Amino acid sequence: MKKEFDLQEYMTKGVERVVADAIKATLKDPKESAFMLRFAAASARASSKRKKAEESGEHIPPFLIASITSKCNLHCAGCYSRCNHATVDAEPVSQLTDEEWYGIFDEADRLGISFILLAGGEPMIRRGVIEAAAKKKNILFPVFTNGTFMDEKYFNLFDASRNLIPIMSIEGKKELTDTRRGTGVYDRLVRNMDELHKRGLIFGASVTVTKENIHEVTSDSFLGELSDRGCKAVIFVEFVPVTEESRELTPGEEEREYLKAEIARLRTEAPEMVYISFPGDEKSSGGCVAAGRGFFHINSHGGAEPCPFSPYSDVNIKNTSLREAMHSPLFLALQSGDILLDDHEGGCVLYEKRELVEQLMKKTTV
């Protein structure tokens, strides 16, 4: 008899694997390794909180994605966030304050959330929010950044607050990165990596995987260069098409299977780095883990959304607690339906099935 999929067990083991891999990846750095061991203990306590809540009938996801600003200084080709108008050039109005974000981080700590991914826009524009995150030592904050705002003050902050992990976006080597992100961005990223490495700071790279770069970004040459510069984690994010023109860049089933196989190989042959794939193999993980199953997204204005690729919200964190937001009518409807389990062609089932999500949204807000 096939064992029924246990989401809580799957997510808990996922967190444990990431932490265990991170400890192995930092063994040569006593300061970093000591922090990761302390975080492992905090993560175990958080896991116990989530398990206790689960036994009481409440599911608490271990991850949260926080887009702390919608402003960005770059115009990357095919950016889903700009195409959805979630990212803009101007300073956002009515965005959450530094204090409101700290309140969210504080409640997340009490609930047992172990990881909060800071995103944008360009999150390093909001220095005050990142300084607030630094105070919550029980939570690991990967900061997904384009790297262009990295300066001496940030290097010092990362040094003093090891729970902040810069994750710099890169598209491959110089030509591919500058083609998508702008001239000079690759060289800036390399300088940042060299400085972080010199200071003994852990950092990672985020790669948007397309049909154009999939072979380069999984190559031993590219990943070897990242490793030599001190990179300890690579997060592969499948490209999500938001326009018809960009659809040709979307990895198909063949590319997704290739990526899955390469990540399995890399975890065995190059264990000095942690490799994470998003959304990864959803079939083996019981479907998409957005909408509060494994994580959800809070936008810069406080709207609680299923994920960054599905910008629909029926509750705002300004008007409710984090606990209440993660049980919003929209989230509960998505969790109880079949959409999250559906097969799909692109990197995000909720984006591909957005018409169905919009229909659910109308029903839950009537």
Instruction: Give pLDDT tens digits for 39-58.
Output: 889 989 999 999 999 999 99
Give the confidence band of 84 by pLDDT, cuts at 50, 70, 90.
low
Check: CB of residue 174 under 8 Å from CB of residue 143: no
- The stretches of 95-167 forming alpha helices (DSSP H) are 98-111, 127-134, 152-160
Residue percentage of the chain with pLDDT more than 70: 85
Cβ pair 193, 187 in contact under 8 A: no
Q: pLDDT at position 116, please?
A: 95
State pTM to two decimals: 0.88
Choice among 43-52, 109-118, 337-346 with the minimum mean pLDDT: 337-346
Domains and CATH numbers, the chain: 7-361 (3.20.20.70)
Classify each residue of 52-83 as buried b or exposed e, where b means 16 or more C-beta atoms within 10 Å of its C-beta: ebbeeeebbbbbbbbbbbbbbebebebbbbbe
